[in-house]
Structure 1
Amino acid sequence: MEFIPQFGNVAFTLVAFIAALSIIVAIHEYGHYIVGRWSGIHAEVFSIGFGPVLASRVDRHGTRWQIAALPFGGYVKFLGDADAASGKDGAAIDALDVAERRRSMHGAPLWARAATVAAGPVFNFILSILVFAGFVLASGQAIEEARVGTPKALPADMQVLQEGDLITSIDGTPIASLADVRSLSEAVPSVPTLSYEIERDGVAMTVDAVAPWIPVVEAVTPQSAAMAAGLEVGDVIRAIDGEPVYAFRQLRSAVEASEGGALALDVWRDGEMLEFTLSPRRMDLPLAEGGFETRWLIGIRGGLFFEPVTEPVGLLDAAQYGVAQTGFIIQSSLSGLWHMITGAISSCNLQGPIGIAETSGAAASQGLDDFIWFIAVLSTAVGLLNLFPIPVLDGGHLLFHAYEAVAGKPPSDKALKIFMSVGLMLLLSLMLFALTNDIFCP
């Protein structure tokens, strides 16, 4: 496999990975820290990274904030913790008076400890929700009517509509909204132009223009065949294996029919014709209604030949979108894990550090927006992973707290040490399995 994507080098990939991970870790650990402080638990150390300390300062609350040499994680060490995993330092706690013991992680009330532990993953989810909401606030949402916004840059021989045109019918099918235009993506014939009835400056007229869903690249998926081949956003695919294509569904059909065989693409880019050869890859895609479908893909998303007219989105609608997007990532991640366990989809869908690093670099190479979006997706995944009921992870600590709430006392120190050792072995095994996927999966 290619350990470093073709778009860049080792340094670029590592910088992107470290930047993404550091942001996510900082938010996660800040959740632990701030809720712990609000709950009366004293944080002795807030660290981004592990190992030798590169820089540090102590704030007025007595917490040492530091950056360490190994930037692949972080931790908050609370009063009474024996280590970064919040192991109990029995001797240190015994030496504390009653007031100080209350300020330790292990001497605080159960509600304070549980809230502090849960805050890390919750802050990861909040980061994702804010990012997704921010995107829709910045871009707005498409208005309901089928009005042409800014036409995309296309070859000179491709006839398009003008900005402001209101589409009332396509190829004889009445159009009442932009949703009607989208629904025609599979119905209109694959021909160079279609007949449109439009209103332009208040005047009704009939004009010819390209199909709404032309084979223009609107997005390139990281670690895909398209990215490896060098396709870029804005490329227009004119032919596949010498056969002209006029609609995105022709491209999709050709990719499916290839069953992984090489495809030759004639691509228009900024006034030039280029040739690319790529082989579709078999991928498992989450479905909105749940489950997965396995398809041959090259890793691009198509779109309309114009940008729809947009309108501002309110804070409530943006927040609802952020929550829905975060919820979909959680649901599809859990569904994917279950389908991998049952063998319904390939275990190669589980990425390790190399795969995540490559995806980080790929997202960063496509621009700041894509990189920020990737950080939000990864933040959700990190928050979800930390909630798994595995000792060492936050979910394992919450499981111990749940036991204490039911039994009236925490597990014994001996039992906790055993559970933590088992949890560490499970986590290391999972990481090794994911790393093996990075190396051996296609």
Structure 2
Amino acid sequence: MEFFGILGGTAGYVVAFIVALSIIVAVHEYGHYIVGRWCGIHAEVFSLGFGKVLYTRTDKRGTEWQVAALPFGGYVKFMGDANAASAGVDGEAMAGLSEAEKRRTMPGAPLWARAATVAAGPVFNFILSFLIFSAIVTVRGVPSEPVQVGTLQPLPQQVRVLEAGDTILQIDGKEITDIGSLYDATAELDLTRPVAYRIERDGAEMIVEGTTPFPPLISSVSPNSAAIDAGLEVGDVITAIDEQPITAFKELQDIVREGEGKPVALKVWREGEVLDFTMTPRRTDLPTPEGGFETRYLIGINGGLAFEPATDRLGPLKALEYGVRQTWFIVTSSISGLYNMVSGAISSCNLSGPLKIATTAGQMASQGGQSFIWFVAVLSTAVGLLNLFPIPVLDGGHLVFHAYEAVTGKPPPEKLLNVLMAIGLTLILSLMVFALGNDLFCEGGIFWKIRSWFV
């Protein structure tokens, strides 16, 4: 992550994007390759990237492994395929093969073997995602129950009433049993008076008074947000907004929400220094627990507790369950988002193109290794889902062709297949151009930022 920071700016973003994409593509294509091999289908070429070959070697099975100059994708070419997209049959290569040799080709393999090989790419993307999510939650742990104070966060002129090792039993009379109940109790606090904490310290219960456990402390900065463009960082503490002093993150949320997109001026404490920032909240469509979306104006930061809670380790099964749930949430939110964009319920600017994804990769890398790895998992889920869409040239399109063959007993006619592939390629290229337009012209895009300099 320091390497990306040394590169800085555009170069760092591009390198971070290439690293993330290369990992995802390698896993996706390896899924095709290894499942194809298990199914008895021979892979002639495994390529990371397109264009001029920079490195190549042939293994003992006769597969050529190569790295090409354009690192924005990859492919596995199986024996008998007409091309790297597995579109059509190489009739010349298939001519004269024995039945045993044809079984080792993609066209000559049983339908189940071809379908499994095609589906393996997206499935491996999902596996990568939930394994990463599981690993991160294993490393982080989960807040202990009952809630115990771990490390205290550095805050400006903060009167400390909680100490490391304290167990929080009540907040203003409300029972605290887990981190969720702490969030709920904090949301209902009267910020005009001190907060009463019933705690257990060194085996004795006592009541102490202090400020909210949720100060205006930044725990994370969202990529492609007003906050990250302005230069806010994790660990910053916002002491005032529009010259109005604040002591709780909720006060910041309320002022930004009521402003409905009006610029805000922030005073920020950073390692003993007070800095001034001005930014304009951006209209953002957020998924709701019910499956829909709500539109809010946000500057793009998340708040953190005044302390790091003590944590417990999750067992392997619980960690994997968390990883699967997180992956499923991304899948369902993405499908819901696409549906709502098509129906016009939310802005089509929510569809990101390569420029915005590259920027996100760089910004997540700048926030640390764990943030970057999390981004890789999210992008891997998105790539897996996209490849399952029933569009010719994508894996989902091939699976539709296999379903047609399963029903009719024969594959689609070669001419029809070629026409559908051309249509599919046109759709994908059109979608890429549309998404690139979003990156350039939507709020937060390149031309939008340039225009804002002169307005």
Same fold (TM over 0.5): yes
| Structure 1 residues 62 and 306, CA gap change in structure 2 (3 angstroms) | same
- The one-letter amino acid paired with 1:351 is S
Q: Which residue of 2 aligns with 1:373?
A: 374
CA-to-aligned-CA distance 1:155-190 (integer Å, 9 cap, x gap) = 133434101112222233343443321112221112
1:306 and 2:321 equivalent?
no
AA aligned opposite 1:201:
D
Contact 2:17/2:358, CA 8 A, preserved across alignment:
yes
In the superposition, relative to structure 1, how do residues 133 and 176 fare at CA in structure 2: closer, same or farther (>3 Å)?
A: closer
2:350 maps to 1:349: yes
Q: Could you tell me how far apart the structure 2 residues matched to 1:262 and 1:352 are?
A: 27
**1:13-38 CA-partner distances (Å, limit 9, x unpaired):** 11011000000000000000000000
Question: Distance in 2 between the 1:297 and 1:327 partners?
Answer: 25
Deviations 1:219-245 (A, max 9, x none): 100011110111111111111111111
Contact 2:280 2:299 in 1 (8 A): yes
Alpha carbons of structure 1 residues 174 and 117: separation in structure 2 relative to 1, 3 Å: closer
Distance 2:281 2:125 in 1: 34
Give structure 2 stretches of 5+ with no counterpart: 444-455
Matched, 1:129 2:130: yes
Equivalent position of 2:417 in the other structure: 416
Identity of aligned residues (%): 61
Q: Does the Cα contact within 8 Å between 1:143 and 1:310 map onto a contact in 2? A: yes
Secondary structure at the counterpart of residue 218 of structure 1: strand
- If the length of structure 1 is used for normalisation, what is the TM-score? 0.96
CA contact (8 A) 2:225 2:300 kept: yes
CA contact (8 A) 1:124 1:383 kept: yes
- 1:184 corresponding residue in structure 2: 185
The aligned counterpart of 1:20 is 20
CA change 1:351–1:117 in 2 (3 A) is same
Q: 1:262 to 1:158 in 2, by over 3 A?
A: farther
The CA distance in 1 between the partners of 2:106 and 2:344, in whole Å, is 41
Q: Deviations over 1:182-237 (max 9, x none)?
A: 11222111247422222211122222222011111011000111101111111111
Distance 2:67 2:177 in 1: 57
- 1:362 match: 363
What's the counterpart of residue 44 of structure 1?
44
1:263-282 matched pairs, under 5 angstroms: 263-282=264-283
8 Å contact 1:221–1:300 — kept in the other structure?
yes
Tell me the SS of whatever aligns to 2:436: helix
Aligned length: 437
Between the aligned partners of 1:349 and 1:178, the Cα distance in structure 2 is: 31
2-side partners of 1:95 and 1:364: how far apart? 53
Match of 2:158 in 1: 157
| Contact kept in structure 2, 1:192 and 1:211, CA below 8 Å | no
Look up the equivalent residue of 2:62 and give its one-letter code: G
Q: Secondary structure at the match of 1:105?
A: coil
Give the aligned residue type for 1:395.
G
Compared with structure 1, are the counterparts of its residues 47 and 173 closer, same or farther at alpha carbon in structure 2 (3 Å cutoff)?
A: same
Gaps of 5+ in 1: none
Which string of whole-angstrom CA distances, capped at 9 and with x for unpartnered residues, describes residues 87-141 of structure 1? 2212221232222111111110000000000000000000001000001111111
Residues 48-75 of structure 1 deviation map (CA, whole Å, 9 limit, x = unaligned): 0000100010001100000000000000
Q: Which amino acid aligns with 1:111?
A: W
Conserved? CA contact 1:159–1:210, under 8 Å: no
For 2:218, what is the secondary structure of its paired residue? coil
Distance 1:176 1:317, change over 3 A: closer
What residue is the counterpart of 1:199 in the other structure? 200
Following superposition of structure 1 onto structure 2, how do residues 39-438 of structure 1 map, counting pairs within 5 Å?
39-87=39-87, 88-191=89-192, 193-438=194-439
CA distance in 2, matches of 1:144, 1:355: 39
Q: Alpha carbons of 1:186 and 1:92: their partners in 2 closer, same or farther (altered >3 Å)?
A: same
What's the C-alpha RMSD, in Å, of the aligned pairs?
A: 1.4
Distance 1:152 1:85, change over 3 A: same
2: distance between equivalents of 1:76 and 1:127? Answer: 19
- Kindly indicate whether the alpha-carbon contact (under 8 Å) linking 1:151 and 1:160 is maintained by their aligned counterparts in 2: no
C-alpha distance in 1 between matches for 2:286 and 2:137? 24
CA distance in structure 2 between the partners assigned to 1:74 and 1:41 by the alignment: 19
Distance in 2, matches of 1:284 and 1:189, equals: 29
Which residue type is aligned with residue 40 of structure 1?
A: G
Counterpart CA distance in 2 for 1:181 and 1:157 is 20
**What CA deviation, in whole Å up to 9, does each residue of 1:340-391 have, x standing for no partner?**
0000000000011111111111111111111000000000000000000000
Which moved further from structure 2: 324-333 or 158-167?
Answer: 158-167
Alpha carbons 1:159, 1:208 under 8 Å: kept: no
Q: Write the distance in 2 (CA, Å) between the matches of 1:259 and 1:8.
A: 33
Cα distance in 2, alignment partners of residues 60 and 164 from structure 1: 58
Question: Offset of 1:84 from its aligned partner?
Answer: 1.1
- Measure how far apart 1:8 and its partner are: 3.4
CA distance in 1, matches of 2:103, 2:347: 48
Measured in 2, the distance between the counterparts of 1:23 and 1:317 equals 26
Moved more, 92-101 or 57-66: 92-101
TM-score (norm: length of structure 2): 0.94
AA aligned opposite 1:110: L
Q: Distance in 2 between matches of 1:395 and 1:175?
A: 48
Give the Cα–Cα distance (whole angstroms) in 1 for the partners of residues 302 and 186 of structure 2. Answer: 13
Following the alignment from structure 1 to structure 2, what is the Cα–Cα distance between the partners of residues 199 and 410? 70
The more displaced of 150-159 and 245-254 is 150-159
* Range that drifts further, 232-241 or 27-36: 232-241
Match in the other structure for 2:447:
none
Stretch moving more, 383-392 or 190-199: 190-199
